[in-house]
Amino acid sequence: MMLPVSELHDFPGHPFQVRDDEEMEKLAESITQHGVLMPGLVRPRTAGGYEIVAGHRRKFASVKAGIREMPVIVRDMDDDTAVILMVDSNVQRENVLPSEKARAYKMKLDAIKRKAGRPSKENSAGIRQNLFSIQKIADDAGEGKTKIQQYIKINDLIPELLEMVDGNEIKFNPAYELAFLRLEEQAVLYDILQAEEVTPSLSQAQRLKRASQEGRLSEQDIATIMREEKAQTRDTGKVTLPAKEIEQFFPKSYTPEQKKKIIVKLLANWARQRGAQER
């Protein structure tokens, strides 16, 4: 049916960002010309209106294009079914950030467990169910079971480090190892990364994890580990731009890839101007 976009409300805890970027501009232009070609999926809200299960970007683009109504399929479903459908309809999109996948997979895992009736983690039935649930998420997403477990684990990172993962300042495999650090250790690590303008390699992250699990990771230990490999990589030509220093120049909706393109474009313009002056 056609419903007013004003009656369509976001899914609670929706883990996927709706970005007002170039792709959204294209979607809004398409909707202006052809309308919404694929209906969204919604369910009735007890507070009135409808809750979007799939179609957040289509709603945003419709509003952007000045369209007041949007085609949707209305379906009654329980909370856990809605979570599973919401994750499955979004996680295969391009440009999904690691943090978005991490939260989405965790939400889906919890929903699958609730639907099955969660047994105790300590007994063998609980372990089997957990492995079965993770395998189902992996099969649905086309990812390996280990990868799903790693994504779920990086939810344990503090927001500042997770933002660095989204910005590709910290690679995924080191991020997984860092997720085993205690929160206070992660906070110290983040401060050192900003002060030293470095990012941890996989071997550094593994050493930090091992020291943390052995109960011997002090602030000095973290600084020492990070500075050792910094000397080895100082002359590689790599330039790191700390997020805190550049985020003030970009809209919050910009993805790391968009920021990179703008920086490269500005450098290209600077190089042309410099070349003209030298001539």
pLDDT digit string (tens) for 55-111? 999 999 999 999 999 999 999 999 999 999 999 998 888 789 999 999 999 999 999
Same domain, 112 and 125: yes
Residue 100 shares a structural domain with residue 149: yes
Q: How far apart, in Å, are the Cα atoms of 206 and each of 31, 33, 213?
A: 48, 52, 11
**Residues 165, 147 share a domain:** no
Burial of 38 (0-12, 13-18, 19+ CB in 10 A): exposed
- Per the structure, the count of domains in the chain is 4
The pLDDT score that the predictor gives to residue 236 is 43
Which residue range(s) make up the domain with 19? 2-76
What angle do helix axes 219-233 and 202-213 make, rounded to 10 degrees? 160
Any domain includes 242: no
Average pLDDT of the residues of the chain: 88
Do 148 and 206 lie in a common domain? no
pLDDT at 232: 40
The verdict on pTM exceeding 0.85 is no
Q: For 251-269, how does the pLDDT look when each residue is reduced to its tens digit (9 = 90+)? A: 877 777 777 878 888 888 7
Same domain, 115 and 145: yes
- Together in a domain, 222 and 174: yes
In a domain, 244, yes or no: no
Residue where one domain finishes, among candidates 110, 128, 155: 155
Task: Quick: pLDDT tens for 2-58.
Answer: 999 999 999 999 999 999 999 999 999 999 999 999 999 999 999 999 999 999 999
Please report whether residue 89 resides in a domain. Answer: no
> Which residue do the tokens 């300042």 mark?
169
In a domain, 243, yes or no: no
Report whether 35 contacts 67 (CB < 8 A).
yes
Residue 116: CB partners within 8 Å, gap ≥ 6? 129, 133
CATH number of domain containing 50 = 3.90.1530.30
* Same-domain pairing of 11 and 50: yes
41 DSSP β-pair partners: 54, 73
Between residues 114 and 250, which one has the greater pLDDT?
Answer: 114
Whether 228 and 269 map to the same domain: the answer is no
- In terms of domains, do 167 and 195 share one? yes
Q: Are residues 102 and 35 in the same domain?
A: no
Distance, CA of 56 to CA of 22 (rounded, Å): 16
Question: Above 90 in pLDDT, residue 121?
Answer: no
Span 137-165, mean pLDDT? 95
Residue 239 lies in a domain: no
The answer to whether residues 18 and 54 belong to one domain is yes
Same domain, 151 and 183: no
Give the bridge partners for 43, in sequence order: 51
Domain membership flag for residue 12: yes
- Is 240 contained in some domain? no
pLDDT at residue 231, as a whole number: 41
Is 90 a domain residue? no
